[in-house]
Amino acid sequence: MSIFGSMKTAVSGMNAQANRLSTVSDNIANVNTTGYKAVSTSFSSLVLPSSGGNYNSGGVQTSVRQAVSDQGDISYTTSTTDLAISGDGFFIVQGPDGTPVLTRAGDFTKDDEGNLVNAAGFQLMGYSYDSGSPAVVVNGFDGLVPVNVSQDGLTAIASTSGVFKGNLDSNAKIPVAPATLPSANLATTTTDTKKVSMVAYDRLGNKVMYDFYFTKQSVAAAPPPAPPATAATWEVAMYRNANAATGGTTSFPYTAGGAVGTGSLTFDANGKMTSSGAVTINDGVTGQSITMDFSGLTQLGADFSGTGTPNGQAATPVKDVTIDGDGIVYAKYEDGSTKPLYRIPLANVASPDKLTLMSGNVYSANGQSGVTVTGFPQTNGLGTIKSGALEGSNVDLAGELTEMIEAQRSYTANSKVFQTGSDIMDVLVNLKR
């Protein structure tokens, strides 16, 4: 047995316990760090070959393990830009150098440019709705832009489509003369014509009201002994309300060119629509086209009813920004309407505990962690984003204090071994005297 060997083994043990104490100190220091994942020290033995009844002491080596896949406790806050992930996945953020990295730290606030930045200075990345509903890039970070929630001033969106639902009374009468149909734009219309109005928006956010007239045109014939036919064709005629006649008992005739859109709606004997139901408003005054969808109408033996919902938005200031569970960032306007701005993706790897830890509580993928896969929240096993919440550190403070005491005791014991070896060496040196 080598005295020097035992002393080297003791030094190895002291170094190992020092590493253990380092991970404990890191965990305790970050016990209140948002999204921090605890690290721990694992030990493995180093064995030297022994022969002839002599034992050669080896040593110990350490490796650091990360508990990245362990969920931290979620606490709720009053800020809608505080984000937590419940389940698997990481936020994709960007540092000052423009390199995308991963993090669970969702303590985001607006910087001076309106970008969402966490406490470590990393910008949250997402897909913009500027070009329509975004699609995720599953194997990369292409297409991601900083999420900016600064929506100063007013925003107006022109109407381009609308949906109208309801019921047309199957017992309505057909006009005696076709000239009395609303599309003729004469002073008289049949009493069975039903009128509703709907508000849309022009390019400047001004409200534009349109009058819709529904009139039964014809009824399909049914050969005997079939019951009386209820299949029918209806006309829908649409006008600008601002062009309606004034001073009389009817809105007809409308000025400025008459109807801005007309179409036919056909129904089968069961009252279900058989035509496409698409009719377009071509408004020469505002220079816009609005495609109306009437496919939600039925023709049943009940009173007329209808409700319309156009898209578009009046000139309205942004009141708040909200983020839902599937990562869509909405601008909420003063009139109560909402508009999607961004969609926040999540990323994951096959082995999160093998990710490379970097300063700022962020991670990067490597050969051991596996390839980064991107997706939207609540898809492909990814978690849910919780707005107004933060994921805390997963450090167990009581356990860390216990680890600290154990490391101290083990270090002291190894130092005693070293001291004992040193004393034996002194005895050997003094034998010469």
Distance CA 140, CA 272 (A): 47
Distance CA 163, CA 6 (A): 84
pLDDT tier at 140 (50, 70, 90 boundaries)?
A: confident
- Residue range 313-337: average pLDDT? 86
Helix, strand, coil percent values for the chain (each to nearest 5): 15, 40, 45
- Residue range 90-97: average pLDDT? 94
Task: Give the chain's mean pLDDT.
Answer: 90
Question: Per-residue pLDDT tens for 195-237?
Answer: 999 999 999 989 999 999 999 988 875 555 555 556 899 999 9
- Residue range 388-402: average pLDDT? 95
Query: Is pLDDT at 191 greater than 90 in this prediction?
Result: no
Query: Is pLDDT at 433 greater than 90 in this prediction?
Result: no
For residue 28, the model assigns a pLDDT of: 96
For residue 47, the model assigns a pLDDT of: 85
For residue 332, the model assigns a pLDDT of: 86
For residue 337, the model assigns a pLDDT of: 78
Distance CA 389, CA 373 (A): 25
Cβ–Cβ under 8 Å, residues 116 and 83: no
- Residue range 346-375: average pLDDT? 94
For residue 194, the model assigns a pLDDT of: 92
Q: At residue 398, what are phi and psi to the nearest 5 degrees?
A: -65, -40
For residue 56, the model assigns a pLDDT of: 78
For residue 228, the model assigns a pLDDT of: 54
pLDDT tier at 249 (50, 70, 90 boundaries)?
A: confident
For residue 424, the model assigns a pLDDT of: 85
For residue 225, the model assigns a pLDDT of: 54
**Contacts of residue 132, Cβ cutoff 8 Å, sequence gap at least 6:** none
Phi-psi region of 284 (alpha: psi -120 to 50; beta: other; left: phi over 0): alpha
Q: At residue 104, what are phi and psi to the nearest 5 degrees?
A: -110, 0
**Contacts of residue 329, Cβ cutoff 8 Å, sequence gap at least 6:** 126, 147, 149, 321, 322, 323, 340, 341, 342, 343, 344
Phi-psi region of 260 (alpha: psi -120 to 50; beta: other; left: phi over 0): alpha
pLDDT tier at 1 (50, 70, 90 boundaries)?
A: low
